[in-house]
A and B are shown apart, each in its own frame.
Chain A
Amino acid sequence: MTAMAEHSLQAVRKSVTVSASPDEAFEIFTEDFDSWWPHTHHIGKAPMTKAIIEGRRGGRCYTEHEDGSEADWGTILAWEPPRGVLIAWQIAANWQFEPDLKKSSEVEIRFTPVENGKTRVDLEHRGFERMTAGAAEMRTGVGGEGGWGGLLQLFAARVEQKATKGES
């Protein structure tokens, strides 16, 4: 592909500094995942009731729903409390669970102590190029306003709603 297309596949990096020790931040990020993860973020078919990260290598990342169903969205690839965690992001182009780890992107979260007892949390979402089968569809589906097909559209709208509400 062209240089531009390659460029578009570079990892997404985000950082935030929080007033907590790495131990605390790691625990809240993972064990208390449900306490902060926006409940609008899921790929289940019914409203989400709980978001869970199983704290061990090979652990499941999934959500529980009002209709009693569960929806997997990831697997813990590396578990190194309190330094970091690596999660396979198993969401395919069609917004369905992707069982094949080789076709999944991944999210690494690292916790680094900084001054005043605070912790910097660095997040990197990478490996978009692995979403092979539906990758072209997925990437091109993400239009100027962030469309990924029907479900993602709804999803993105809800995220925006949530973000707007959160700010007010």
Chain B
Amino acid sequence: MSTYRDRQLDALGDPTRRAILARLRKGPAPVGRLARDFPVSRPAISQHLRVLKEANLVTDRADGTRRVYELNAKAFASLREYFDEFWGVALNAFKKRIENRNREER
């Protein structure tokens, strides 16, 4: 589990990869298109995409002879999961605070 996490951190540590993710937010794109959009070589783009894919941040699929990359929708859904858990913890602490207060007053 922690391996994924570490990989995602590494993947996000590079500004070009972050820019690629921002680009993919607008929609899926083939490697060639991304290579044209960014001032780095096509092999470099492929390398970045490989890192992003290994980190589970993007997925790829074949489209004829092209390979099309898109954001991993599951990674998107996780923002909600994160806040869902976050607020669960916070509200639970709030409830405990009130219960403790009530006990003290009794």
Contact = CB atoms under 8 A, between A and B. Distances in A.
Interface of A: 1-2, 4-5, 7-10, 12, 14-16, 18-20, 24-25, 28-29, 32, 35-38, 41, 121, 123, 125, 128, 135-150, 153, 156, 159, 162-163, 166
Contacts of A147: 5, 8-9
Interface string B94-106: 1111110110000
A8 B86 CA distance: 16
B90 interface: yes
Looking at chain B's contact residues, is the secondary structure mostly helix, strand, loop, or mixed?
helix
B57 A143 contact: yes
Nearest to B13: A150
Contacts, number: 144
Contact of A38 (B9, B18, B90, B98): B90
A75 to B, nearest CB: 18
Contacts of B9: 147, 149-150, 153
B75 A18 contact: no
B76 A5 contact: yes
A36 B25 contact: no
Interface residues of B, number: 48
Given A8-B73, A140-B57, 7 more contacts: A12-B80, A12-B87, A18-B95, A28-B97, A41-B86, A135-B25, A139-B75
Interface in B1-60: 1-2, 4-5, 8-9, 12, 18, 21-22, 24-25, 27, 55-58
A148 B4 CA distance: 13
Interface in B51-90: 55-58, 71-90
